[in-house]
Structure 1
Amino acid sequence: MSLSSPLSFRTAVIADVPSIVSLVESAYRGESGMRGWTTESHLLDGRRTDAESVAGLIERTGNVLLLAEQEGTLIACCHIEQQGKVGYFGMFAVSPVLQKGGLGRTLLAKAERVASDEWRCTAMHMTVIEQRAELIAWYERRGYRLTGEFKPFPYGQERFGIPRREDLRFVCMSKPLDEVAA
């Protein structure tokens, strides 16, 4: 599959949960995650998400799991949440075999437009594991800036992964959505 076929975007429904979990796991964990550049396998073991967590996001008001599909196949996803005048961006996953082709940039821009145009949010926030310097730089090239704030990693909660080191924490990033092209 290549990005030459048309992309379609839609909001996830409960029937999509198994495909979403599979995609997220493939992008961040295990051997398949090693094929892409988004893997966290050097930092975390265990699962990245589970069916219960994904279903909870789909069912919760003010949340959207945005899916990108090509030829009927799920190839990327992200979670966006309305938090007042701010959108929160997370659970971003692109199929490892399609990474570095512009799909992630396209999906991120779509998520920003949803937050800006549909929810009238003025900014998008996110957290990234501090040790993911390459990923932080990728977001910075898309207009996100480090806020100087940090959040602790949820040690002891295996549903977020099993840390392979003891110094993990999240950096907070933000982007004003007035920079988003309509």
Structure 2
Amino acid sequence: MRVIRPATLADLPRLHPVVERAYRGDSARQGWTHEADLLSDTRTDLATLTTLIDGASRILIALDGDTILGCVNIASRGNGLAYLGLLCVDPELQARGIGKQLIAAAEATARDTFAADRVEMTVIDRRVELIAWYERHGYARSGETRPFPVAVDPPLTMAVLVKPLFDQRQLP
């Protein structure tokens, strides 16, 4: 039975390898959402993950029993804006609806915990299939681009995508 809940410090050592497998290296190529053809460094580390689980930020994890299937980070940016990042699913488990469930949980957290009325994310602009997937889930390009957060050669650009959030309880 699949459960989505906020990650704790105790979860992070088991979560970190899932993130790395999903984003980098040959194992990531088993899935379709990887960055392994664009980047070869590590995606994150335990210290960074630790900063994402308290205060105005949450990492939500999808579990089947004790097995971590994937995660997403949702963070408040203030003024009704939340930021979604670090969405990943173990490459061997992709295309089973886990990512869709993680996004829904992140959007609910943004709305209900952070009082956000919109969610923003950045995606490497070369990731056309991934951007199209997000667009099918209600995100739209804002027209804004940002530089990749670390220097890489050749340089990468991030497309900014935004989705308005609506309180489903207020809809007829």
Q: Same-fold call, TM > 0.5?
A: yes
CA distance in 2, matches of 1:176, 1:168: 26
- Partner of 2:53, secondary structure, is helix
User: Of the candidates 89, 102, 106, which is equivalent to residue 101 of structure 2?
Assistant: 106
**Structure 1 alignment gaps of length 5 or more:** 1-5, 157-162
Residue 15 of structure 1 and its aligned partner are, at CA, apart by 1.3
Identity %: 40
2:43 paired with 1:55: no
Letter in 2 for 1:79: N
- Partner of 1:9, secondary structure, is strand
- If asked which structure has higher relative contact order (CA below 8 Å, sep 6+), I would say 1
Residue equivalent to 2:157:
169
TM-score by length of 2: 0.92
Residue equivalent to 1:144:
139
**Structure 2 alignment gaps of length 5 or more:** none
Residue equivalent to 1:66:
60
- Partner of 1:68, secondary structure, is strand
Residue 181 of structure 1 and its aligned partner are, at CA, apart by 4.1
Residue equivalent to 1:25:
20
Letter in 1 for 2:117: T
CA-based RMSD: 1.3
2:9 paired with 1:11: no
Residue equivalent to 2:149:
154
Residue 55 of structure 1 and its aligned partner are, at CA, apart by 1.0
Residue 96 of structure 1 and its aligned partner are, at CA, apart by 0.6
CA distance in 2, matches of 1:83, 1:125: 9
Question: How big is each residue's C-alpha offset from its partner over 1:61-80, in whole Å with a ceiling of 9 and x where there is no partner?
Answer: 10001011002211010100
CA distance in 2, matches of 1:56, 1:27: 20
- Residues 154, 83 of structure 1: CA spacing in aligned structure 2 closer, same or farther, 3 A cutoff? closer
